[in-house]
Structure 1
C-alpha cells in the first residue's frame, strides 16, 4: 500500500543526511557492538538513505563508512566495506519497490539485505581463518530490522510537509 497521497515530502537536506550517517556511525562505535544482538545502526541508516535518496547516498559512501568501521573494529580491512557496499547495492536495486509497502512489508524487504550483509561478513572471517562466530551473531540483523519503522519516522520527519496548507507559510 502506498503512503497517504496527500503526504508530500520536501527534498532531503544533504546536511541532515550527512549528520544522520555520522550519528549512526558514532552509535556503532559505542561499546555495545560487542553484544551479539546489538543492531547495526550504520547499516540501517545506509539502507534507509539508499532506498529514499538513491542519488545522494550510494555505494561509494557505504564503502567509505565500511572502511572506517573496519579500522575501528580492527577487523580485516575490507570486511565491513564489502558488506556495506553489497548492502547498498541491494537497497539501490529495490529502491523503487520498497516505498509502496506498509511498515511490515518494508521490514520484510530489508531483512534479507541485513542477513546477507551479516552472512558476507561471516564468510569473509571464515575464509581468512577465523572461527565460526555462532548463530547469535545473526540476531543483529533481526534487531536492526525491528528498528526500521523508528528510523523511517525519525529520518523522514524533517521532510514532512504540513497536510493543511497555511497561506502564511510558503510550504
Structure 2
C-alpha cells in the first residue's frame, strides 16, 4: 500500500486501436505453431479489458477473434469464443486486479490467459483434429509472464504529463 500512485491521463482511443492492430500484426508473423509464442492479441485485449472495460468490450474481442480465426484458417468462432470468454473474465475482475501490484496481477490474469488457450485446444480436439501436445498450453503461461512488460509499455503514454513543468512535483 505504500507504493506511489500515478495520476494517469485519459487514454487516447487511437492508441487503443493502434495497440490492438499492432498485436494483431504480431500474431500475423510467420512463427508457425512454435511452442511458447504468445498470443499478443489476447494479451493486449486482456490489458485493455482490465484498464478500460468501457472502451474495449466483448464485441471487440469477438471481432478480433473472428479475424484470428480467418487468419489461422481454423474453425470459425473458436478464437472468437476464447477472446469473448477472456474479455468477460477480465471485465469481471478488473476492479480487483487494478489494486494489486504487477507481480500479483500476473498470477490473477494467468488463469484467464490459460483458459483462452484451452478453449481452442478443446474445440480442436472435439472436432477431430490431431492432438497438438501439451506444449500448446504453455503459451498462456508465457503471456502471463509478459503481463508486467505489456502493462508498463501500454501505460507509458498515460503517465506522461500533459504539460511538463520542472517546478511541479506531479
Q: TM-score, normalised by structure 1?
A: 0.92
Residue 21 of structure 2 is matched in structure 1 by 22
How many aligned positions are there? 168
Deviation string 1:45-92 (CA, Å, 9 cap, x unpaired) is 000000000000000000000000000000000010000000000000
Gaps of 5+ in 2: none
* CA distance in structure 2 between the partners assigned to 1:97 and 1:33 by the alignment: 36
Residue 46 of structure 2 is matched in structure 1 by 47
Shift of 1:2: 7.6
Please say if 1:155 is aligned against 2:154.
Answer: yes
Deviation string 1:6-43 (CA, Å, 9 cap, x unpaired) is x1000000000000000000000101142121011100
User: Secondary structure at the residue paired with 1:129?
Assistant: coil
Deviation string 1:109-137 (CA, Å, 9 cap, x unpaired) is 11000111111111111111112221100
* CA distance in structure 2 between the partners assigned to 1:166 and 1:142 by the alignment: 41
Moved more, 25-34 or 56-65: 25-34
* CA distance in structure 2 between the partners assigned to 1:43 and 1:133 by the alignment: 20
Shift of 1:166: 2.5
Residue 4 of structure 2 is matched in structure 1 by 4
Q: TM-score, normalised by structure 2?
A: 0.92
* CA distance in structure 2 between the partners assigned to 1:27 and 1:12 by the alignment: 22
User: Secondary structure at the residue paired with 2:54?
Assistant: coil
* CA distance in structure 2 between the partners assigned to 1:129 and 1:135 by the alignment: 16
Residue 135 of structure 1 is matched in structure 2 by 134
